[in-house]
A and B are shown apart, each in its own frame.
Chain A
């Protein structure tokens, strides 16, 4: 890929983000007219901001990569990522806004009136935030490697430094404008190349066998294996090998590999002839794990699919960077309208990544072998269109990808840094916010080389699972159930979220490699979410004396429209 266009495009995105973030407010809002200056953020602008913040590397790169490798089963990812907002709309959006809470720990304190619940929620915000930041940095590293051949960790480092600098310097002052801008940028960066790609596909005779049968190479293709892997063959494969296969060195030798599993060392070059079916790869045993989740999925597809659905449907409401954006809505009804608009915007966006995935299966199937499937979106314009047009479109996609890393990472960093400053680090002040920002970014940056290799969409799925198991019970029961008590909420978060967290950690550590237990740990939401709910309900019922005073008034405030609530609230308070 030609980096002469891509690198300036990425730089442009970074500079534009900084400028809009720092000066967007100043340009548009310095005025002497009160009615202009104090106009609240409308639902559509706020929805674009939420979407901009939400669409991360997982959406931009990861979904296409998974669809490329594993086929249409992976369409549950975009469905889940979108449908999460439906659940948010139905159960959480308006009451959460009316609660007056800015962050999730604020909500825990507002509802339960307990400092320890607040701290526990804060700990989970930090945990989910860090889990979510990891794949963003990884995606940035991958993008830069694909664009320039730079070492894997450099891209993550650049994003980490840029985001930390912007956030710590207070450069996200007009965050609504920045994030809305990022949404439209990301949509454009995927939509325009997708149109050209589809046209090229049409010009190519519109081949339709993308999902019908195993992907095949449409022309002779050389694949360099970057990570040692095992090839599992259902039928014999003829391939030209330069490197080590099954422990034996070969030099440009034509091999006919029989049915069975073959071990291919890293650095080996395989040349496939036209029309060869793309073999299925399993990651080797040397610590890689990008297919570890896939293995679980293959063994128990139904369980894995339901695990994914539950995690994404219920996890969205607990994402710290999404929740804080709802505060910008002036009232509960506006929060609901915003969520509807978010559904439309995100739904439109998620039509595009599967297109890339399907085209990638046709035109770049070897990515499944080289372990860089997440790069499919970046490579396709060059592969399908080529020439100057391909380079320009590739640059646009690269810019969009960086917008994805920047917006999500900055939102998450702000959320995590906010919690660290308020609830963890000792005293308050701007300096401490900077310290918190550094800490919020340093931990995932340090961890990212250790856990590299998980596909970004899967890694984000794990963050969703933890969020769904800890915050979903807290929010849903907190809003809809009168008898929730602080000990119940704390126990539910600890048991549900804690077990999901442990499962995620075990999966990341590659334990145990296969089997039923592996599937359970790789897709924890299906058991950890009910576990969280059940614990929260049972412990709350067991501690009826600890129902916070004034629960009736609090719930009345959550559920009554703002116009009504003054009188009603007084009545409820009098009753309590």
Chain B
């Protein structure tokens, strides 16, 4: 009997889950209770429909986004047919009467040229065709017409003309926002490129100076350092792909540290504790090396004796946890917060805020850097890297110390 009960419970489970999912999908604001008058209800309804139509349009005007938003827009207008076009073709036709596509396309030139809407009677040989009138309303972004919203109705209606115009204006705003999103992405891409290009002029200069100082006294050492330098620059000037693996990033950090050690000798001690499980994790290119550079800078700043840096990478379920800790001068948290907020530009190098920005850009705002510090108390930087993120793929195969092998 108990077995039967359990079976019934298990059998019901998927249905409960499905019901829950359906409920969430179809939840509407009016379910919240009897709020307001019928007019207010209608307003809420309209606003809700509009808010549902907005997210797809925020990705720009394409066939896919048009398809996903058309039904909602048609609900908003309450017409029998709604069509979205770009400059050259019909992206989607939602509702009845799709045999009018060609006719609509012929009339498109007017609104595209003038940027003004128009309404006209459709010619149709079907006696029982449900749509007789079409209203064209242009979709403009930055004063340029990108497409047309077409609403079709059985008869002429001034209300529809007005409504179509308003909806088209609202869609245009969404498309403008999409445009903004796009420029923001481009900006960050440019920033990443800039970060890579200006990787560390100080560092390049210092390294060459150190290598030069060894050339006469210890040519073998100088040669080794030069190879380390070559490996590091090859990695940082790499052009293909925005992402790398944790293993490759750690190797780059190793080359970097070899050069820094040549400068500072025994003053710098580094320990590593790295879980092998997280080495294949893909992450934005050069986003840990600046953190180590920062740790070196802070660690050696204003300290005569040894500085200790610890680099830890832990396996934490679906994430890798990377911690970079130094016991150096630390930093005033208030000043740090202002740097991260972009209010003041950091004194030297590219610093933490750029890494923070890029991590947030790639993984979302939950994945910014976590920095624990105080004046004189060292600094501990924690980065969380998801093992999987859509669109994040390391470009190359894991290398097992290719640099050394080459030398």
Contacts and interface: CB of A to CB of B under 8 A. Distances in A.
Interface in B213-262: 240-241, 247, 250-251, 253-254
A324 B142 CA distance: 48
Contacts of A501: 10, 14
Contacts of B271: 30-32
B254 to A, nearest CB: 4
Given A103-B318, A328-B276, A509 B247 contact: no
Given A38-B250, A330-B247, A505-B7, A174 B388 contact: no
A37 B317 CA distance: 20
B390 A327 contact: no
Interface in B152-211: none
B109 interface: no
A566 B6 contact: no
A119 B276 CA distance: 29
B1 to A, nearest CB: 5
Contacts of A566: 240-241, 395-396
B279 A330 contact: yes
Interface in B12-70: 13-14, 17, 21, 64
Contact of A37 (B269, B273, B395, B398): B273
Contact of A26 (B21, B251, B273, B396): B273
A334 to B, nearest CB: 9
B275 A25 contact: yes
A506 B388 contact: no
Given A31-B272, A563-B397, A329 B280 contact: yes
Interface string A260-297: 00000000000000000000000000111100000000
B206 to A, nearest CB: 21
A173 interface: yes
A566 B396 CA distance: 7
Contacts of B64: 549
Contacts of A38: 247, 250-251, 254, 272, 274, 279
B67 to A, nearest CB: 9
Given A110-B388, A508-B6, A510-B4, A176 B277 contact: yes
B392 interface: yes
Interface in A435-462: 447, 449-451, 453
Nearest to A427: B366
Contacts of B272: 29-34, 37-38
A414 interface: yes
Interface residues of A, number: 68
A477 interface: no
B8 interface: yes
Nearest to A415: B317
B393 A100 contact: yes
A511 interface: yes
A242 interface: no
A498 B14 contact: yes
Nearest to A454: B3
B251 A557 contact: no
B274 A287 contact: no
Given A29-B273, A37-B274, A330-B398, A447 B6 contact: yes
A40 B280 contact: yes
Contacts of B10: 447, 501, 504-505, 508-509
A40 B400 contact: yes
B370 to A, nearest CB: 12
A175 B6 contact: no
Of B7, B8, B316, the most chain A CB neighbours within 10 A belong to B7
Contacts, number: 168
B4 A511 contact: yes
Interface residues of B, number: 54
A287 B7 CA distance: 12
A160 interface: no
A110 B4 CA distance: 39
A123 B18 CA distance: 10
Contacts of B315: 173-175
Contact of A289 (B3, B13, B318, B401): B3
A422 interface: yes
A533 to B, nearest CB: 20
Most buried by B among A25, A127, A453: A25
A110 B393 CA distance: 10
B314 interface: yes
Q: Which of A101, A505, A562 is most buried by chain B, counting CB atoms within 10 A of its CB?
A: A505
B11 A100 contact: no
Contact of A40 (B247, B392, B396): B247
Nearest to B269: A32
A109 interface: yes
Contacts of A509: 3-8, 10-11
A5 B95 CA distance: 77
Contacts of B7: 451, 505-511
Interface of A: 25-26, 29-35, 37-41, 100-103, 106, 109-110, 113, 119, 123, 127, 170, 173-176, 286-289, 327-331, 414, 417-418, 421-422, 428, 433, 447, 449-451, 453, 498, 501-502, 504-511, 549, 557, 561-563, 566
Given A35-B254, A288-B3, A566-B241, 18 more contacts: A31-B272, A38-B250, A38-B272, A41-B277, A100-B388, A100-B393, A102-B388, A110-B388, A113-B390, A170-B316, A287-B4, A329-B280, A414-B317, A417-B317, A507-B7, A509-B5, A509-B8, A549-B64
Q: Which 9 pairs show the lowest CB-CB distances between chains A and B?
A: A509-B7, A450-B6, A562-B397, A34-B254, A37-B272, A505-B11, A102-B387, A505-B10, A106-B388
14 contacts: A29-B274, A35-B401, A37-B273, A40-B280, A40-B398, A102-B318, A127-B14, A287-B4, A327-B277, A327-B280, A417-B317, A549-B64, A557-B393, A563-B397
